[in-house]
Structure 1
Amino acid sequence: MTVPYKRILIAVLSALLLVATAASGGAATPPASPASGQQDFDWEIGTWRSTVRVLAEPLSESADTWLQFAGTSTVRPLLDRRANVVEFVVSGAAGSINALNMRLYEPQAQRWSLTFVNLRDGLLTPSVYGGFHNGAGEFYGDDQLAGRPIKVRFLIFRPGPDEARFEQAFSADGGTTWETNWLAVDRRTRR
Protein backbone atom coordinates (compact mmCIF):
# COMPACT_ATOMS: atom_id res chain seq x y z
CA MET A 1 0.00 0.00 0.00
CA THR A 2 1.52 3.31 -1.03
CA VAL A 3 1.76 6.25 1.36
CA PRO A 4 -0.79 8.45 -0.52
CA TYR A 5 -3.19 5.50 -0.64
CA LYS A 6 -2.77 4.92 3.12
CA ARG A 7 -3.45 8.61 3.78
CA ILE A 8 -6.63 8.53 1.70
CA LEU A 9 -7.80 5.33 3.42
CA ILE A 10 -7.08 6.79 6.87
CA ALA A 11 -8.91 10.02 5.97
CA VAL A 12 -11.93 8.08 4.68
CA LEU A 13 -12.08 5.84 7.73
CA SER A 14 -11.67 8.84 10.05
CA ALA A 15 -14.52 10.64 8.30
CA LEU A 16 -16.76 7.60 8.72
CA LEU A 17 -15.90 7.45 12.42
CA LEU A 18 -16.67 11.15 12.88
CA VAL A 19 -20.00 10.83 11.08
CA ALA A 20 -21.00 7.81 13.16
CA THR A 21 -19.94 9.51 16.41
CA ALA A 22 -21.81 12.72 15.53
CA ALA A 23 -24.93 10.76 14.56
CA SER A 24 -24.93 9.05 17.95
CA GLY A 25 -24.38 12.30 19.84
CA GLY A 26 -20.94 11.09 20.87
CA ALA A 27 -22.40 8.33 23.06
CA ALA A 28 -22.01 4.64 22.52
CA THR A 29 -24.86 3.27 20.45
CA PRO A 30 -26.19 -0.19 21.22
CA PRO A 31 -26.00 -2.64 18.33
CA ALA A 32 -28.99 -2.54 16.02
CA SER A 33 -31.39 -5.44 15.96
CA PRO A 34 -30.91 -7.90 13.09
CA ALA A 35 -34.23 -6.78 11.58
CA SER A 36 -33.01 -3.20 11.30
CA GLY A 37 -30.87 -3.76 8.22
CA GLN A 38 -27.53 -3.14 9.94
CA GLN A 39 -26.31 -6.59 8.87
CA ASP A 40 -27.42 -6.28 5.23
CA PHE A 41 -23.82 -6.37 3.97
CA ASP A 42 -22.41 -8.99 6.40
CA TRP A 43 -22.52 -11.62 3.63
CA GLU A 44 -20.02 -9.57 1.61
CA ILE A 45 -17.23 -9.31 4.20
CA GLY A 46 -14.12 -10.90 2.66
CA THR A 47 -12.19 -10.91 -0.61
CA TRP A 48 -13.72 -11.38 -4.04
CA ARG A 49 -12.46 -11.84 -7.61
CA SER A 50 -14.16 -9.12 -9.69
CA THR A 51 -14.83 -9.03 -13.42
CA VAL A 52 -16.19 -5.72 -14.61
CA ARG A 53 -17.66 -4.25 -17.80
CA VAL A 54 -17.88 -0.46 -17.97
CA LEU A 55 -19.68 1.50 -20.69
CA ALA A 56 -17.03 3.78 -22.21
CA GLU A 57 -19.33 6.78 -22.79
CA PRO A 58 -22.55 6.62 -20.76
CA LEU A 59 -25.61 8.51 -22.00
CA SER A 60 -24.03 9.29 -25.36
CA GLU A 61 -24.78 8.47 -28.98
CA SER A 62 -21.87 6.00 -29.02
CA ALA A 63 -23.10 3.89 -26.13
CA ASP A 64 -21.96 0.55 -27.48
CA THR A 65 -18.29 0.34 -26.45
CA TRP A 66 -17.68 -1.63 -23.26
CA LEU A 67 -14.34 -1.76 -21.40
CA GLN A 68 -13.29 -4.96 -19.59
CA PHE A 69 -11.50 -5.13 -16.23
CA ALA A 70 -10.58 -7.82 -13.69
CA GLY A 71 -9.11 -7.73 -10.20
CA THR A 72 -10.16 -7.87 -6.57
CA SER A 73 -12.73 -6.40 -4.25
CA THR A 74 -12.10 -6.57 -0.50
CA VAL A 75 -14.87 -5.70 1.97
CA ARG A 76 -14.00 -4.82 5.58
CA PRO A 77 -16.44 -4.13 8.42
CA LEU A 78 -16.19 -0.93 10.47
CA LEU A 79 -17.88 0.48 13.56
CA ASP A 80 -19.53 -2.71 14.82
CA ARG A 81 -20.73 -3.42 11.24
CA ARG A 82 -22.68 -0.14 11.05
CA ALA A 83 -20.30 0.75 8.22
CA ASN A 84 -17.98 -1.03 5.84
CA VAL A 85 -15.48 -0.13 3.18
CA VAL A 86 -14.92 -1.83 -0.15
CA GLU A 87 -11.43 -1.61 -1.60
CA PHE A 88 -11.76 -2.12 -5.35
CA VAL A 89 -8.73 -2.66 -7.62
CA VAL A 90 -9.21 -3.85 -11.22
CA SER A 91 -7.29 -3.44 -14.46
CA GLY A 92 -7.65 -4.14 -18.16
CA ALA A 93 -6.52 -3.01 -21.59
CA ALA A 94 -8.08 0.43 -20.97
CA GLY A 95 -6.14 0.98 -17.71
CA SER A 96 -7.11 0.47 -14.09
CA ILE A 97 -9.78 1.44 -11.60
CA ASN A 98 -8.75 1.95 -7.99
CA ALA A 99 -11.66 2.98 -5.81
CA LEU A 100 -13.25 2.77 -2.40
CA ASN A 101 -16.93 2.40 -1.64
CA MET A 102 -17.86 3.73 1.81
CA ARG A 103 -21.11 2.36 3.17
CA LEU A 104 -22.77 3.73 6.27
CA TYR A 105 -25.98 2.49 7.91
CA GLU A 106 -28.44 5.19 9.01
CA PRO A 107 -30.55 3.60 11.79
CA GLN A 108 -33.04 6.50 11.96
CA ALA A 109 -33.89 6.12 8.27
CA GLN A 110 -33.23 2.34 8.22
CA ARG A 111 -31.20 2.72 5.04
CA TRP A 112 -27.65 2.58 3.77
CA SER A 113 -25.71 5.33 2.04
CA LEU A 114 -23.09 4.24 -0.51
CA THR A 115 -20.42 6.77 -1.44
CA PHE A 116 -17.74 6.01 -4.01
CA VAL A 117 -14.22 7.41 -3.86
CA ASN A 118 -12.19 7.44 -7.05
CA LEU A 119 -8.54 7.33 -6.02
CA ARG A 120 -7.50 8.78 -9.39
CA ASP A 121 -9.03 12.17 -8.62
CA GLY A 122 -9.62 11.79 -4.86
CA LEU A 123 -13.24 12.93 -5.14
CA LEU A 124 -16.33 11.57 -3.43
CA THR A 125 -19.35 10.94 -5.62
CA PRO A 126 -22.79 11.94 -4.36
CA SER A 127 -24.21 9.08 -2.29
CA VAL A 128 -26.89 6.66 -3.37
CA TYR A 129 -29.39 5.56 -0.70
CA GLY A 130 -31.46 2.45 -0.12
CA GLY A 131 -31.39 -1.07 1.20
CA PHE A 132 -32.24 -4.69 0.56
CA HIS A 133 -35.72 -5.96 -0.25
CA ASN A 134 -36.44 -9.60 -1.06
CA GLY A 135 -32.71 -10.32 -1.22
CA ALA A 136 -31.83 -7.60 -3.75
CA GLY A 137 -30.22 -4.25 -2.98
CA GLU A 138 -31.63 -1.08 -4.54
CA PHE A 139 -29.96 2.31 -4.13
CA TYR A 140 -30.83 5.62 -5.81
CA GLY A 141 -29.35 9.10 -5.92
CA ASP A 142 -28.68 12.23 -7.94
CA ASP A 143 -25.44 13.18 -9.68
CA GLN A 144 -24.15 15.07 -12.72
CA LEU A 145 -22.61 13.86 -15.95
CA ALA A 146 -20.84 16.39 -18.16
CA GLY A 147 -22.58 19.20 -16.27
CA ARG A 148 -26.13 17.89 -16.65
CA PRO A 149 -28.19 16.41 -13.80
CA ILE A 150 -28.78 12.65 -13.85
CA LYS A 151 -30.33 9.98 -11.65
CA VAL A 152 -28.19 7.04 -10.52
CA ARG A 153 -29.44 3.54 -9.75
CA PHE A 154 -27.21 0.90 -8.15
CA LEU A 155 -28.48 -2.69 -7.85
CA ILE A 156 -27.01 -5.69 -6.01
CA PHE A 157 -28.04 -9.30 -6.67
CA ARG A 158 -26.84 -12.53 -5.01
CA PRO A 159 -27.26 -15.53 -7.34
CA GLY A 160 -25.51 -17.69 -4.71
CA PRO A 161 -23.70 -17.42 -1.34
CA ASP A 162 -20.30 -16.89 -2.98
CA GLU A 163 -21.35 -14.81 -5.98
CA ALA A 164 -22.71 -11.28 -6.33
CA ARG A 165 -23.69 -9.06 -9.26
CA PHE A 166 -23.60 -5.26 -9.20
CA GLU A 167 -25.24 -3.00 -11.79
CA GLN A 168 -25.11 0.75 -12.10
CA ALA A 169 -27.39 2.71 -14.45
CA PHE A 170 -27.89 6.39 -15.27
CA SER A 171 -31.06 8.20 -16.28
CA ALA A 172 -31.14 11.59 -18.01
CA ASP A 173 -34.96 11.78 -17.96
CA GLY A 174 -35.71 11.71 -14.24
CA GLY A 175 -35.82 7.91 -13.95
CA THR A 176 -38.22 7.14 -16.79
CA THR A 177 -35.55 5.21 -18.71
CA TRP A 178 -32.24 3.78 -17.49
CA GLU A 179 -28.98 2.97 -19.27
CA THR A 180 -26.79 0.39 -17.55
CA ASN A 181 -23.13 1.47 -17.58
CA TRP A 182 -21.45 -0.78 -15.00
CA LEU A 183 -21.73 -4.57 -14.64
CA ALA A 184 -19.59 -6.39 -12.09
CA VAL A 185 -19.62 -10.02 -11.08
CA ASP A 186 -17.80 -10.97 -7.90
CA ARG A 187 -16.85 -14.49 -6.83
CA ARG A 188 -15.63 -15.07 -3.29
CA THR A 189 -11.99 -16.07 -2.87
CA ARG A 190 -11.69 -15.65 0.92
CA ARG A 191 -13.92 -14.95 3.93
Structure 2
Amino acid sequence: MSQTAADGQRDFDWEIGSWRSTVRVLAEPLSESADVWLQFAGTSVVRPLMDRRADALEFQVSGPNGSINALNLRLYEPQAQRWSLTFINMRDGLLTPAVYGGFRNGVGEFHGDDQLGGRPIKVRFLITRPSPDEARFEQAFSADGGTTWETNWMAVDRRIRR
Protein backbone atom coordinates (compact mmCIF):
# COMPACT_ATOMS: atom_id res chain seq x y z
CA MET A 1 0.00 0.00 0.00
CA SER A 2 1.35 3.41 -0.87
CA GLN A 3 2.01 6.00 1.80
CA THR A 4 -0.80 8.15 0.45
CA ALA A 5 -3.35 5.34 0.51
CA ALA A 6 -2.35 4.28 4.01
CA ASP A 7 -2.47 7.75 5.55
CA GLY A 8 -6.01 8.70 4.48
CA GLN A 9 -5.33 11.23 1.72
CA ARG A 10 -7.58 9.29 -0.69
CA ASP A 11 -10.43 8.76 1.80
CA PHE A 12 -12.89 10.89 -0.22
CA ASP A 13 -12.01 9.54 -3.69
CA TRP A 14 -15.19 7.41 -3.68
CA GLU A 15 -17.32 10.56 -3.57
CA ILE A 16 -15.96 12.28 -6.68
CA GLY A 17 -18.84 12.75 -9.12
CA SER A 18 -22.51 13.75 -9.10
CA TRP A 19 -25.14 12.74 -6.55
CA ARG A 20 -28.89 13.17 -5.94
CA SER A 21 -29.34 14.47 -2.41
CA THR A 22 -32.30 14.29 -0.07
CA VAL A 23 -31.91 16.27 3.13
CA ARG A 24 -33.75 16.69 6.43
CA VAL A 25 -32.77 19.69 8.56
CA LEU A 26 -33.99 20.34 12.10
CA ALA A 27 -35.63 23.78 11.98
CA GLU A 28 -34.44 24.94 15.43
CA PRO A 29 -31.57 22.85 16.78
CA LEU A 30 -30.93 22.76 20.53
CA SER A 31 -34.17 24.54 21.33
CA GLU A 32 -37.19 23.66 23.44
CA SER A 33 -39.48 23.86 20.39
CA ALA A 34 -41.07 20.81 18.81
CA ASP A 35 -38.97 18.75 16.44
CA VAL A 36 -39.87 20.35 13.12
CA TRP A 37 -37.87 18.93 10.21
CA LEU A 38 -37.48 20.75 6.88
CA GLN A 39 -37.19 18.67 3.70
CA PHE A 40 -34.96 19.42 0.71
CA ALA A 41 -33.87 17.64 -2.48
CA GLY A 42 -31.35 18.43 -5.18
CA THR A 43 -27.81 17.59 -6.19
CA SER A 44 -24.27 17.62 -4.93
CA VAL A 45 -21.17 17.48 -7.09
CA VAL A 46 -17.73 16.63 -5.71
CA ARG A 47 -14.60 17.72 -7.58
CA PRO A 48 -11.03 16.85 -6.68
CA LEU A 49 -8.49 19.66 -6.20
CA MET A 50 -4.70 19.80 -5.91
CA ASP A 51 -3.92 16.18 -6.83
CA ARG A 52 -6.75 15.00 -4.52
CA ARG A 53 -5.25 16.59 -1.42
CA ALA A 54 -8.46 18.61 -1.29
CA ASP A 55 -11.92 18.54 -2.81
CA ALA A 56 -14.87 20.84 -3.18
CA LEU A 57 -18.49 19.78 -2.82
CA GLU A 58 -21.11 21.97 -4.49
CA PHE A 59 -24.46 21.50 -2.80
CA GLN A 60 -27.80 22.76 -4.16
CA VAL A 61 -31.10 21.60 -2.69
CA SER A 62 -34.53 23.14 -2.40
CA GLY A 63 -37.86 22.40 -0.77
CA PRO A 64 -41.09 24.00 0.46
CA ASN A 65 -39.13 26.13 2.98
CA GLY A 66 -36.54 27.49 0.54
CA SER A 67 -33.17 26.38 -0.69
CA ILE A 68 -29.67 25.65 0.51
CA ASN A 69 -26.77 26.53 -1.77
CA ALA A 70 -23.43 25.76 -0.21
CA LEU A 71 -19.88 24.59 -0.65
CA ASN A 72 -17.97 22.17 1.51
CA LEU A 73 -14.22 22.55 1.21
CA ARG A 74 -12.29 19.54 2.46
CA LEU A 75 -8.52 19.68 2.97
CA TYR A 76 -6.15 16.87 3.88
CA GLU A 77 -3.52 17.63 6.53
CA PRO A 78 -0.76 15.02 5.99
CA GLN A 79 1.18 15.87 9.17
CA ALA A 80 -1.83 14.97 11.32
CA GLN A 81 -3.26 12.41 8.87
CA ARG A 82 -6.68 14.02 9.11
CA TRP A 83 -9.19 15.96 7.06
CA SER A 84 -10.80 19.32 7.79
CA LEU A 85 -14.31 19.98 6.48
CA THR A 86 -15.44 23.59 6.20
CA PHE A 87 -19.03 24.43 5.23
CA ILE A 88 -19.72 27.65 3.33
CA ASN A 89 -23.32 28.85 3.13
CA MET A 90 -23.70 30.90 -0.05
CA ARG A 91 -26.67 32.79 1.47
CA ASP A 92 -24.46 34.65 3.95
CA GLY A 93 -21.02 33.90 2.45
CA LEU A 94 -19.62 32.83 5.80
CA LEU A 95 -17.31 29.93 6.58
CA THR A 96 -18.26 27.77 9.52
CA PRO A 97 -15.51 26.56 11.85
CA ALA A 98 -14.02 23.35 10.47
CA VAL A 99 -14.64 19.88 11.82
CA TYR A 100 -11.63 17.52 11.88
CA GLY A 101 -11.24 13.77 11.59
CA GLY A 102 -11.10 10.87 9.19
CA PHE A 103 -12.34 7.41 8.36
CA ARG A 104 -12.00 4.31 10.52
CA ASN A 105 -13.60 0.97 9.66
CA GLY A 106 -15.54 2.62 6.83
CA VAL A 107 -17.09 5.38 8.96
CA GLY A 108 -16.04 9.01 8.70
CA GLU A 109 -16.15 10.86 12.01
CA PHE A 110 -15.35 14.56 12.35
CA HIS A 111 -15.55 16.86 15.40
CA GLY A 112 -15.24 20.57 16.01
CA ASP A 113 -16.38 23.58 18.00
CA ASP A 114 -18.84 26.24 16.91
CA GLN A 115 -21.46 28.61 18.30
CA LEU A 116 -25.23 28.59 18.10
CA GLY A 117 -27.12 31.68 19.20
CA GLY A 118 -23.97 32.99 20.85
CA ARG A 119 -23.34 29.92 23.01
CA PRO A 120 -20.50 27.46 22.44
CA ILE A 121 -21.41 24.04 21.07
CA LYS A 122 -19.67 20.87 19.92
CA VAL A 123 -20.29 19.58 16.38
CA ARG A 124 -20.10 15.96 15.23
CA PHE A 125 -20.34 14.96 11.57
CA LEU A 126 -20.65 11.30 10.54
CA ILE A 127 -20.38 9.73 7.09
CA THR A 128 -21.43 6.16 6.33
CA ARG A 129 -21.67 4.27 3.05
CA PRO A 130 -24.34 1.55 2.97
CA SER A 131 -23.28 0.79 -0.64
CA PRO A 132 -20.80 2.13 -3.22
CA ASP A 133 -23.55 4.28 -4.76
CA GLU A 134 -25.11 5.60 -1.54
CA ALA A 135 -23.75 7.76 1.25
CA ARG A 136 -25.33 9.05 4.45
CA PHE A 137 -24.31 12.22 6.25
CA GLU A 138 -25.41 13.14 9.75
CA GLN A 139 -24.61 16.24 11.78
CA ALA A 140 -25.32 16.60 15.50
CA PHE A 141 -24.80 19.38 18.03
CA SER A 142 -24.00 19.16 21.74
CA ALA A 143 -24.52 21.98 24.22
CA ASP A 144 -23.06 19.99 27.13
CA GLY A 145 -19.51 19.36 25.96
CA GLY A 146 -20.32 16.16 24.06
CA THR A 147 -22.22 14.25 26.75
CA THR A 148 -25.44 14.27 24.73
CA TRP A 149 -25.98 14.91 21.02
CA GLU A 150 -28.96 16.16 19.03
CA THR A 151 -28.99 15.24 15.33
CA ASN A 152 -29.98 18.23 13.21
CA TRP A 153 -28.96 17.32 9.64
CA MET A 154 -29.48 14.05 7.78
CA ALA A 155 -28.67 13.66 4.10
CA VAL A 156 -28.75 10.66 1.81
CA ASP A 157 -26.84 10.88 -1.48
CA ARG A 158 -27.30 8.44 -4.37
CA ARG A 159 -24.80 8.45 -7.22
CA ILE A 160 -26.01 9.76 -10.58
CA ARG A 161 -24.89 7.31 -13.27
CA ARG A 162 -24.12 8.87 -16.64
2:54 pairs, out of 83, 97, 111, with 83
In the other structure, the counterpart of 2:133 is 162
Please tell me the residue identity of whatever aligns with 1:117. Answer: I
Gaps of 5+ in 1: 1-30
Gaps of 5+ in 2: none
Q: Tell me if 1:153 matches 2:92.
A: no
Please tell me the residue identity of whatever aligns with 2:136. Answer: R
Conservation of the 8 A alpha-carbon contact between 1:56 and 1:63 = no
Secondary structure at the aligned position of 2:103 is classed as: strand
Secondary structure at the aligned position of 1:33 is classed as: helix
In structure 2, relative to structure 1, the CA distance for the partners of 1:32 and 1:76 (3 Å cut) is farther
In the other structure, the counterpart of 2:147 is 176
Q: Within 2, Cα distance between the matches of 1:107 and 1:163?
A: 27
Number of aligned residue pairs: give it.
Answer: 161
- Deviation above 2 Å: which 4+ runs of structure 1? none
Q: Tell me if 1:111 matches 2:76.
A: no
TM-score, length-scaled by structure 2:
0.97
In structure 2, relative to structure 1, the CA distance for the partners of 1:63 and 1:102 (3 Å cut) is farther
Deviation at 1:172, TM superposition (A): 0.1
Q: Within 2, Cα distance between the matches of 1:107 and 1:32?
A: 10
More helix per residue: 1
Conservation of the 8 A alpha-carbon contact between 1:141 and 1:151 = yes
Q: Tell me if 1:33 matches 2:34.
A: no
Deviation at 1:32, TM superposition (A): 5.2
In the other structure, the counterpart of 1:124 is 95
In the other structure, the counterpart of 1:67 is 38
Q: Deviations over 1:148-179 (max 9, x none)?
A: 00000000000000000000000000000000
Instruction: Tell me how large the CA RMSD over aligned residues is.
Output: 1.1
Larger of the two Rg values belongs to structure: 1
Q: Within 2, Cα distance between the matches of 1:113 and 1:32?
A: 19
